[in-house]
Amino acid sequence: MRVDGSLAEGVGSGRGGTGDDGRSSGEIAAAEITGAWQRVKRRLRAELGEDVFASWFARLELQEVSGGVARLTVPTRFLKSWIESHYLDRVLATFRSEADGIESLEVGVRGAMAPARPGAATLTKPAPSPRPAASPVVEMPEPERAPRGPVPDGELGGAPLDARLTFESFVVGRSNALAHAAAERVARHDGGPALYNPLYFHAGVGLGKTHLLHGIGHAVKNAGRRVIYLTADRFMYGFVNALKTQSALAFKEKLRAIDVLILDDVQFIQGRSIQAEFGHTLNALIDAGRQVVVAADRPPTELESLDERVRSRLAGGLVVEIGTLDEGLRASILQSRLEAVRASHPTFEVGPAVAEYVAKAITANGRDLEGAVNRLLAHATLTGAPVTLDTAETAIRDLVKNREPKRVKIEDIQKLVASRYNVSRSDILSERRTAAVVKPRQIAMYLSKVLTLRSLPEIGRRFGGRDHTTVLHAVRKIEKAIGEDTALCDEVELLKRMLQD
């Protein structure tokens, strides 16, 4: 029996083959397995939280089950080794509790690039990977795009700096002026103990964190000092690898021999031993007066997977938030992008009206602005026609529509949850602590965390001025309950859907 990517097919042929006599012992119906696998993923998501799930399991797929072996696939070797070393037991235990007859797991790498490995290579089905035509290659934060091979001995696996992401190409506006100033000071500082240590940037996606970090990296390098830029996944990978080859001490020593350590996307740091090691490394570097620069998608206090002491160490330097890009800043970034493109495509012209339209329409972030420029360029080179407002509108339509996240309002969450549980919205906001009110309140807090971009303190404020620890407690509690109680899990899933449709 085979359950593959095209599940409908797998299910169909499975049924066709079983006939009237039912399935042979030990063989498990495709539909059952498919359902079980979906429950496994749902439970992993609920138990581990959205971030961990998205980092490691979102691309984990079931390829086939036969002879008691469930074969799973992921797109990269990095993910494979990470899941194998950290989560295999957990996935197996969860799968076993959802389906009979599973004895072991195998994780393979799908895709043409995968090196042949007996038992796994035959399972691979080249994953369709429609890369957006002109998507630029900056250092990818997602673990899926981590280095393919092992980190070579004697190297820390630092990521290369993108030549385009410099201070010179960074456009300064109100929302990022402070971050930019701090970055420049840190980069130009030489001699004496580090200034703000660590320097911590946080912002939503596409607001320029990675750009600033690379800018620091270039400037430090140009000044002849030693710098290493690591994404969280590279840090973890380097460390896991060092542990495997028992060179962890050397890895740490090497890390400590540099002047500036830049660490991007630290919200992805997972796993107890890695976190502890991250904490030690941080302490050692800071205590030795080395500059540490860190970026994440949230403030240090909200790095829930990190130990309290590590969080407070991260918060102990200078923490700077980069705000959303206002229209003026978007227009300037767009102009500088267009100019950069014109350097290699001198005939590419975008008039002021089109530029204004794009800067108005693309509100989300710098990444989408860059995507828009690439679309316009593709359009212009393919058709040879000048970029008009009409063509621009068509070219970026999907960026405008799809990338705008569906905004769920906390108020709507409160209203919906209240009505489902027969309480009033003011009950939810009140101090009342009867079970009939506490549960819906906690569910509403959980949904607010999962479905909106609001921070815990902000959610606390919107729930009658509660403390962020109360919200965190509610979130954890519901996460746990969802993992243990399928009825609740379905209920919450339904609420989510109602809110998002």
How many residues bind Mg ion (CB under 5 A)? The answer is 2
Residue 74: what are its φ and ψ, rounded to 5°? -135, 165
Establish if 298 lies at the interface with ligand ADP (CB under 6 A). Answer: no
Distances (CA, A) of 86 to 52, 78, 83, 92, 102: 12, 12, 5, 12, 19
Sheet holding 69-74, edge to edge: 61-66, 69-74, 104-109
Establish if 367 lies at the interface with ligand ADP (CB under 6 A). Answer: yes
Establish if 210 lies at the interface with ligand ADP (CB under 6 A). Answer: yes
Structure tokens at 63: 């390829």
Q: Is 351 part of any known ligand binding site?
A: no
170 binds, among ligand ADP, Mg ion, none (CB under 5 to 8 A by kind): ligand ADP
3-state secondary structure 21-77: CCCCCCCCCHHHHHHHHHHHHHHHHHHHCHHHHHHHHCCCEEEEEECCEEEEEECCH
Handedness of CA 228, 232, 238, 239 (dihedral sign): positive
Establish if 210 lies at the interface with Mg ion (CB under 5 A). Answer: yes
Please tell me the distance from the alpha carbon of residue 279 to that of residue 446, in angstroms, as a whole number: 28
Window of 117-125, 202-210, 301-309, 447-455 that interacts with ligand ADP by CB under 6 A = 202-210
366 binds, among ligand ADP, Mg ion, none (CB under 5 to 8 A by kind): ligand ADP
Write down the least CB distance from residue 482 to ligand ADP, Å. Answer: 29
Write down the least CB distance from residue 210 to Mg ion, Å. Answer: 3
Distances (CA, A) of 60 to 27, 232, 288, 501: 23, 20, 41, 26
99 or 295: CB nearest ligand ADP:
295
Paired residues of 291 in beta bridges: 260
Residue 93 identity (one-letter amino acid): A
Which segments within 168-258 are labelled E, that is strand? Answer: 199-202, 227-231
CB neighbourhood size of 321 (10 A): 16
Establish if 63 lies at the interface with ligand ADP (CB under 6 A). Answer: no
Using the rule CB under 6 A, which residue among 208, 215, 300, 483 binds ligand ADP? Answer: 208
DSSP secondary structure letter of residue 449: H
210 or 448: CB nearest Mg ion:
210
Window of 281-289, 364-372, 386-394, 469-477 that interacts with ligand ADP by CB under 6 A = 364-372
Q: Is 206 part of any known ligand binding site?
A: yes
Structure tokens at 499: 């809110």
DSSP secondary structure letter of residue 146: S
Using the rule CB under 6 A, which residue among 31, 113, 138, 284 binds ligand ADP? Answer: 138
Establish if 370 lies at the interface with ligand ADP (CB under 6 A). Answer: yes
Please tell me the distance from the alpha carbon of residue 65 to that of residue 26, in angstroms, as a whole number: 11
Write down the least CB distance from residue 264 to Mg ion, Å. Answer: 6
CB half-sphere exposure, 456, CA atoms < 13 A: 18
Residue 291: what are its φ and ψ, rounded to 5°? -80, 130
Window of 153-161, 205-213, 271-279, 430-438 that interacts with ligand ADP by CB under 6 A = 205-213
Establish if 205 lies at the interface with ligand ADP (CB under 6 A). Answer: yes
Q: Are 65 and 71 in contact (CB under 8 A)?
A: yes
1 or 207: CB nearest ligand ADP:
207
202 binds, among ligand ADP, Mg ion, none (CB under 5 to 8 A by kind): none
Using the rule CB under 6 A, which residue among 189, 211, 234, 330 binds ligand ADP? Answer: 211
Distances (CA, A) of 111 to 66, 130, 136: 21, 13, 21
49 or 366: CB nearest Mg ion:
366
340 or 494: CB nearest ligand ADP:
340
Q: Is 316 part of any known ligand binding site?
A: no
Place of tokens 């109602």: 498
Binding string, 23-62, against ligand ADP, x = CB under 6 A? ----------------------------------------
173 or 206: CB nearest Mg ion:
206
Please tell me the distance from the alpha carbon of residue 327 to that of residue 359, in angstroms, as a whole number: 6
Establish if 417 lies at the interface with ligand ADP (CB under 6 A). Answer: no
Structure tokens at 168: 């010179």
138 binds, among ligand ADP, Mg ion, none (CB under 5 to 8 A by kind): ligand ADP
Q: Is 238 part of any known ligand binding site?
A: no
Using the rule CB under 6 A, which residue among 36, 107, 186, 207 binds ligand ADP? Answer: 207
Establish if 176 lies at the interface with ligand ADP (CB under 6 A). Answer: yes
Which segments within 67-168 are labelled E, that is strand? Answer: 69-74, 104-109
Annotated binding site for ATP: 206, 208-210
In the complex, which residues of this chain contact Mg ion (CB under 5 A)? 209-210
In the complex, which residues of this chain contact ligand ADP (CB under 6 A)? 138, 165, 169-171, 176, 203, 205-211, 333, 366-367, 370
Annotated binding site: 206, 208-210
